[in-house]
Structures are given as C-alpha cells and as structure tokens.
Structure 1
C-alpha cells in the first residue's frame, strides 16, 4: 500500500474530520464526474432521441395511411348515389302512404258528398213539389176571383152599390197580377242582382237629396219588389215606393219598405208641385202608350223640386237581341223606346241636361271584343248594353 493511500485512509477515520473531508472532496470532484458522465451519456442519449424521432415519424405515416383508409371506407359507405337512391326509396314509400291516406279520405268525402247531394235533391224535389202545388192553388184562386169580379162587373147598375161596382171596375185582374209577379221573378233577376244593378245610381240620389234639403222622400214609381228602395233605405235616404201590383208590394212590405198601392200617373197628379227631389221609374215607361208617357214625364217635371232629377231605366233597342227578342218576352210592353226618342221628349218638356247612360252589356260582349272572333261593330250590336237610363234634371239650381 502506498504512503498516500495510507494517509487518505487515516484521515478518513478521524472523527468528524474524515466525513467532512470526504464530502468536500466529493463536491470538488462532482463536476469532473458529471463531465465524464456527460461525455459518455450524451452520445447515447442522442442516439435514443433519434430512435424516438424515427419511431414518431413511422407512427405519423401509419396514422396518415389509417386516416386515408378510414376516409375511403366512409366514402364507400355514404356514397351520394347510395344516399340518393335510399332517399328516393323512402320518398316513394312516403308518397305511396300519403296517396293511400288521401285516397281513402277522398273516398270518404265522396261518399258523404253523395249522401248530401242525395238529401239536397230530395229536399229540392220536395220544395219544388210544394211550391208548384202552392202556385197552382194560388193561380186557381186568382182565376176564380177573376171570374167573380167579371160576374160582379156584369151585374145591372141597380143590383149592387155603386161604390162596389166602381171599386171592382178599378181592381186589377188577380190572374194577371199573379202572372206578372211570377214573370218578374223568373226573367228580371233575384233581389240581390237587382240591388247590385241599381246601386250605381246611389251617388245621384245622394246629390239630389243634398240639393233639395228638406224636401220630401225620393219616390220610385213602379217600385215592384222594392230593390231600389232597399238600397236607398240602407244608405239612410228617405224614400217611398208606388206600385199597383199587390203581389210584388207584399214582397216589399215583407222587407219593411215604405210602399203604397196606387197607379203611378194618378199618384203624380195628386202631388203638389216642386215637392220631390228625385223620381225614379225602372222599366216602367216602356209599358205606357206614347201619349200617356208624355203626360207621365210632364207630371214628373211638375212634381220635382228645382234641380230635381228624373231617372228612367228602360230596355235598349240598340241591342239587336233586345229589340228583336227579349223586349217582346213581356206581353205588357208597348214598344221599344230608342235613346234618341226619350232624350228628345225630355228636352222638349224642359229637362236639361239630359244624359243617356248605357247599362248591362251582355257577358259575351267583352269576350268577343277581346278575342276578335266577331267584328267589333257586330259584337256591340248583338251583345251591347241591354238597358239604358235617362237622367234628366229639372232646371232651377
């Protein structure tokens, strides 16, 4: 053993001093040991890190390949064509289900509608039967009353009271009254149709009432069922209807309209002058012989207030269908009145201005004019306005 080694061993065995010297020596020599270890371990650690990096690269490539494979598998599973095909199948199935459900519902509705149509037809048949029976009974009663009136009129002058004979002589034939009421219902139109037609004259009525403030009511001569009176009443305008057809007056009264049974010309002659702001007569003047029409229009002029308005509506013979056919459906028509004739008459009597307003063209007119399947002049002659109105104002305002 060398002297140096023996000295180190001896020093190490000295209490307290030996451990201290040993620790001091280890601390002093630690950097040298660390450097020796570093020189040995660092190359080894670098090799290990290279191995790890290489492995990570291989894992990255494997993950990329795996992702590509998964994407390929997914695309094959959810191919758009497959999806479209499946969706089409599902839609076809749904459409078939809906069509089946709708078809069943429609069948049920068809059955219900058939049942309703059958019941409606039964009710209509029963109503037609009862209406026909009522009409026949009414006509039979009217016929019997006509015969009775004729027998009364044939009685000798002294066989009954004079006032009874006078009243019977002036009573319209009930059978003709019944016929004319039925004729109006069948060929003139429903109440709703007539109300819509005459409503176009409401502005003129409102203006007439405004001009003649405080005057009497607007009077409709030959008022029939009272459609024009109904329009005026709904507009808050005072009005009165005059007619001698009791069957039609009954319809007007049923609607709460103010009417009285009288002859139009006789009623006019009883009125004071300048007392009525507007006098209307829808489809009345064509029933009067021309001398009576002249007297009628003259009395209208007398009774109107200054600035008052006369309104006469009548069939328009400028329409060939009216002049050649429909005018003659009514056996009480005297003759057609061309617009030029009525205009001249009203101007001679002193009305000014006098305006002609064409009304109610045939529904086919516009179609023929639009399609040009007929020459325009022919379409207007055949299917032009079927009525016209004379609006004549009394001077004075």
Structure 2
C-alpha cells in the first residue's frame, strides 16, 4: 500500500531536521577541532659583540724583549728568559680564543637573521591558515541557506502541484461521496428487498416442508385405516356407534406429530450437526451392548452407535420420529420411557442415553424413569442424560422457552442429586457447548497511565462483567453421567 502524501511529507521533514542536526554537530566539531594558532617564540637575542674589539686589541700581553748592555740589561734578559715561556703560553691561548670569537661572530649573526626570518614566515603562514579556516567555516555555514534557496523554486512548484492535486482530490472525493451515497441507497434498498425475499423464501420452505410432512402423515394414517372403519358394515347390520373420543384424539395427535419433526429440523439443527455434537458421548458406551436411546428423535445417536458396532435400540413418543428412524434401519419402538422400561427385565440394558429429553418430563414421571433406569441397567453400565443448562441465560431464553414441549428446567446439581438418589453409585457433571466468546459480555481495556479513579471504576466494571459471564453466559448444555458399579466378588 503506497504511503499517504501527508505521511511522506512528515517523514521527509523529520529526515531533513535530523540531517540538519547532524550537519550542525559536525560543523561545530570541526570548528572546535581547528582551534586558535599557537603562539610562536620571539627570535633569540643578538649576539653580544661588545668585547670583540677590546679582545682583539688586548690579546697580545707579551711585552717586547728587553735589550741593552750592562748589569741591568743582563738582569732584564735573565728575567725575560725565565718568564717568557709562561707568557708565551698565555699569549697562544689568547690568540686562539680571540681567533675563535672572531670566526663565530658571523655565524651567530647569520643564525639570528635566519631565526627571525623563519619565525616571521611561520607567523605569516599561520595567519593565512587561520584566515583560510575562518573562510572555510563561513563557506560551510552558507551551504544550508544556499541549498534552501536553490530548493525554494522546487518547493514553490511542489506547493502549486500539491494545491492542484488537493483541489482535484476534493472534486474526486465529492464525486465519489455522491456516487457512494447513491450506491449506499441502492444497496440498502437491495438489502431490504433481499431480506424480504429471504424471509418469504424461508417461510415458503417451512410451509412446503410442513405440508410434505403433513401429507406423509395423512397418507400413513390412511394406509393404516381410519379408527372405527376397519371393515365396511353390510346393509343388514345395525349402524356402528361413533368411535370413542379418545381414539379420535389419538388419531389427531398422530396427524400432528409431523409438526415437531419440522420444528427440530428448523431449530435444533441438521442431522449432521447433531451427530457431530453427540459423537463425544460414544466413549461412555464403548464395550457396551444393548444400549437404549430414550427419545431417540431422528436417530442421530443410533447412527453413531451403529458406526462403532454397538448394538442399540430406541424409543420415542412421536410416531413420525419413529418412522424416520425405522426407514433408516434402526430398531425403534413407539413408546414412553417409563412404560417401556417397566416391561424390561432388571439388569438387562448395557447403557441408557437420553439427549434433550428430561426437560420434557413432569417431576414425578422423571423420578419414576430414573428409578426404573437404575433397576434395568446392568452392573457396570452407564447412563448419560443431556439437557439444556437453565443456569445459563442464553440457553434458557434462546432455547428452553422456544420449545413449547419443555415442561421443567433442571439445574445441573438438581439432576445430579436425583440420579444419585435413584440408586446410581456415582454421578458426574460434564458441561458442553460453551457460549461463543463473541456473545459474552466484553471487559473494558484500561489504557496505561489512565486516571486512578477511572482505572478503579474500570476494574470494578470488569469484575462485574466476569461475574455476569460466569453466571449467565457459561455452557448451553450439560450432561449427568451416572454409573452403577459392578459388584466386587470376594476372592
């Protein structure tokens, strides 16, 4: 996805600011690195030639050799011959020293002149270098304004282009908004019309399905023969009395049985969905034989048991449900639970299963069924009773009260107690079908650094949300798993 223009401009400005910062830091570092030129020493002092001339005049300390005759002359000659060697050596030393000083006068003069010229040259060079550094810093300081000046023309062009693009975008946005508004209106009309058509289609499908089920029920009852019309009377016989009212009511109930089949098809779920949901109960009956499915309905659990090779049979009060199961090859009887169990031998069933049945029973009838189930189940057998969880708000208001055949909601702990009180040695609760997370109450997200008062209120709100979720939005179904422990025979 391309970057928006305003985001690009912000990014470029940040990059430019960062480049300016680094450039200024580098310029400051360069200026500090150059520093001022060092101080140069003065030339050495001039060579002291003050005594050169006197030394050249006084180096010869040897007097002239005395001459003359007489005692005085001879005495002077004797003294001269005695001290002359000593004066001669001093004269030689004086001569060498004066000669050395004379020869170094010129060298000292040249050295001082050279030092003066060198120091002066260094000073001029360092002055020029400092001037170059100053001019270089000035040049570097002028680069940014120079580049800014060069980019103004481009910036002005960009502003003009941006203005034109903005105007074009406004026009396009207005046109798009207008088109989107018109399209939204059309879509709303289409959605309303589509919803109406879908509703009508669903109603028509329901009506058609119910009509087909009703037609099937009528055809089946007509094939069996109407009550009171098993044989046509002859003319000599007295007229038959009308059929009892009970027979007429039973016939009418059989004709209306198709309605509950349609109800389950529409509201409980497809057979494939129900089979998938009930599949987790199969491990409770592994190794069992002769499992009874009470209220087997359309036979989904009987299908699952057959797929595992577990022999099973079913009972149901709805004749249409019984016909549906029989057409699929299951052993199903049209009977009520208590009456059917009463006719079985004690300890004859390997397992009992009832899904969404106990909530249809009156309390006294339920207690009788549980007592019979405990007697008819073999030692080591298992009974599984699944029902809606009335402790869950969604299950009660969305599912329980929708079905007019429901008689009594059973709290999980209540049903567990009744199973244990009916002779089962153990009973456990298993909760099924959790309410989807999206349908539960949602907690507030507390931002970091929020006001303490707001944080406290939000935490209290979230605590209350958790409590409501734990009470109202938990599990849609539960099952009580009752077992009869096999007797332990002493060794």
TM-score, normalised via structure 2 length:
0.47
Structure 1 residues 18-97: aligned runs within 5 Å: none
Distance 2:266 2:373 in 1: 30
Deviates more, 1:311-320 or 1:135-144: 135-144
* Change over 3 Å in CA distance of 1:253–1:358 after alignment to 2: same
Q: Does 278-287 or 356-365 show the bigger shift?
A: 356-365
Task: Name the CA distance, whole Å, in 1 between partners of 2:208 and 2:358.
Answer: 35
Asked if structure 2 preserves the Cα contact closer than 8 Å seen for 1:309 and 1:393, the reply is yes
- The structural deviation recorded for 1:350 is 1.8
Q: Is the Cα–Cα contact under 8 Å of residues 316 and 386 in structure 1 kept in the other structure?
A: yes
Q: Residue 289 of structure 1 corresponds to which residue in structure 2?
A: 362
C-alpha deviations, 1:173-228, integer Å up to 9, x for none?
Answer: 03531221111111111111111111111111105x1xxxxxx5111010000100
Displacement after TM superposition at 1:236 (Å)? 0.8
Q: CA deviation at 1:255?
A: 2.6
The 10-residue stretch of structure 1 (255-264 or 358-367) with the greater mean CA deviation from structure 2:
358-367
Pairing 1:331-346 to 2, within 5 Å after superposition: 331-346=404-419
Relative distance call for 1:339 and 1:130 in structure 2 (3 A) is closer
Given the alignment, which residue of 211, 234, 238 partners 2:307?
Answer: 234
Q: 1:186 aligns with which of 255, 261, 266?
A: 266
Task: Tell me the distance in 2 between the aligned counterparts of 1:229 and 1:246.
Answer: 17
CA distance in structure 2 between the aligned counterparts of 1:354 and 1:172, rounded to whole angstroms: 40
Matches within 5 A, 1:300-339: 300-339=373-412
Write out aligned runs for 1:134-153 (5 A). Answer: 135-136=210-211, 138-139=213-214
What displacement does 1:253 show? 2.6
- 1:225 is aligned to 298
SS in 1 for 2:286: helix
Which residue does 1:270 correspond to in 2? 343
Q: Which residue of 2 aligns with 1:197?
A: 277
8 Å CA contact 2:292–2:352 kept in 1: the answer is: yes
Distance 1:315 1:131, change over 3 A: closer
321 and 168 in structure 1: CA distance in 2 versus 1, 3 angstrom threshold: same
Task: Classify 1:324/1:196 alpha carbon distance in 2 versus 1 (closer, same or farther; 3 Å).
Answer: same
Say if 1:221 and 1:281, in contact at 8 Å, map to a contact too. Answer: yes
Q: 2:486 — aligned with what?
A: 396
**1:138, 1:190 → 2: CA distance?**
16
**8 Å CA contact 2:296, 2:354 repeated in 1:** yes
Maintained 8 Å contact 2:440/2:473: no
Between the aligned partners of 1:329 and 1:238, the Cα distance in structure 2 is 34
Shift of 1:129: 5.8
Is 1:174 aligned with 2:257? no
Q: CA deviation at 1:342?
A: 0.7
| Distance in 1 separating the partners of 2:307 and 2:444 | 40
Equivalent residue for 1:120?
none
Partners in 2 of 1:358 and 1:369 — Cα distance? 22
> CA offset at residue 254 of structure 1?
3.1
**SS of residue matched to 2:354:** strand
The 3-state SS of whatever aligns with 1:265 is: helix
Kindly tell me: are residues 292 and 172 of structure 1, through their superposed partners in 2, closer, same or farther at Cα, counting changes over 3 Å? farther
Distance 1:138 1:192, change over 3 A: closer
| C-alpha distance in structure 1 between counterparts of 2:378 and 2:213, whole Å | 43
Hey, what's the Cα distance between the residues in 2 that align with 1:361 and 1:344?
A: 23
Cα distance between partner residues in 1 of 2:248 and 2:345: 28
Cα pair 2:275 2:300 within 8 Å, conserved: yes
SS at match of 1:273: coil
Q: Distance in 2 between matches of 1:395 and 1:172?
A: 45
Q: Is the CA contact (8 Å cut-off) linking 2:210 and 2:259 kept in structure 1?
A: no
Q: Secondary structure at the match of 2:405?
A: coil
Counterpart CA distance in 1 for 2:283 and 2:321 is 26
Greater radius of gyration (CA):
2
Separation in 1, partners of 2:240, 2:444: 71
Task: Report the counterpart of residue 247 of structure 1 in structure 2.
Answer: 320
1:171 & 1:355 partners in 2: Cα distance?
41
Q: CA RMSD in A?
A: 3.6
Mapped partners of 1:200, 1:336: distance in 2: 24
Structure 1 position 172, deviation (Å): 6.7
Residue in 1 aligned with 2:151? none
Q: How many residues align?
A: 260
Measure the CA separation in 2 of the matches of 1:126 and 1:134: 12
**Greater shift in the superposed pair: 128-137 or 243-252:** 128-137
Give how far 1:246 is off: 2.0
Q: Is the 8 A contact 2:363 2:408 kept in 1?
A: no
Structure 1 unaligned runs (5+)?
1-124, 153-157, 210-215
Displacement of 1:326 in angstroms is: 2.2
User: 1:96 corresponds to which residue?
Assistant: none
For 1:133 and 1:256, the matched residues in 2 are separated by: 26
Structure-2 change in CA distance of 1:126 and 1:357 (3 Å): closer
